[in-house]
Amino acid sequence: MAQMQEGRVLTCMVTECNYNKGEICYAPSINVGASHPTCDTFTIQNVQMAPRGLPDIEVCDITDCQFNQNNDCMAPGITISHHSGHADCLTFRPGPK
C-alpha cells in the first residue's frame, strides 16, 4: 500500500488516462480544477511518463476544500477516481479549514 505523502496522488482509478499505469499516476505533476475538483491533467494523448509515480499536485483551485492552503494541497495524499464520466479528487472535503 502506498505511504501517505502530503500533496501527492497516491492512487488513481482512471485507468483510461494515458498517465495511468496500474492505478498509479505517472504525470510529473497534476492540476486540480477551478469550479469542481477535476483532474485537469487527464489526457488520452500520447504522453511521456515521469520516471516515478506519486506526482505532486502543482495547483489546486478548489479553495473551499479543507485541505487547500493558498492553492496548495495539504492532504496526506489524494485519490482520484471517476465521477460523472470524468476524473475527480475523491479526497475533496468541503467546509471550513
Selected from 19, 56, 77, 96, the binder of ligand SF4 by CB under 6 A is: 19
Selected from 8, 10, 53, 75, the binder of ligand SF4 by CB under 6 A is: 75
Q: What is the total residue count of the chain? A: 97
Backbone angles phi, psi at 70, to 5 degrees: 55, 45
Q: Where are the beta strands (DSSP E) in the chain?
A: 9-12, 20-21, 24-25, 29-32, 56-60, 68-69, 72-73, 78-83, 86-89
- Phi/psi-derived region of residue 70, left when phi > 0, alpha when psi is between -120 and 50, beta in every other case: left
Asked if 2 contacts 9 with a C-beta cutoff of 8 angstroms, the reply is: no
Selected from 9, 10, 53, 77, the binder of ligand SF4 by CB under 6 A is: 9
Toward ligand SF4, which CB reaches closer, 1 or 75? 75
Per CB under 6 A, does 39 bind ligand SF4?
A: yes
Per CB under 6 A, does 91 bind ligand SF4?
A: yes
Q: Pattern 43-62, binding to ligand SF4, x per CB under 6 A?
A: --------------x--x-x
Cα separation, 61 vs 46, whole angstroms: 26
Point out which residues bind ligand SF4 (CB under 6 A): 9, 12, 14, 17, 19-20, 25, 27, 30, 32, 37, 39, 41-42, 57, 60, 62, 65, 67-68, 73, 75, 78, 80, 87, 89, 91-92
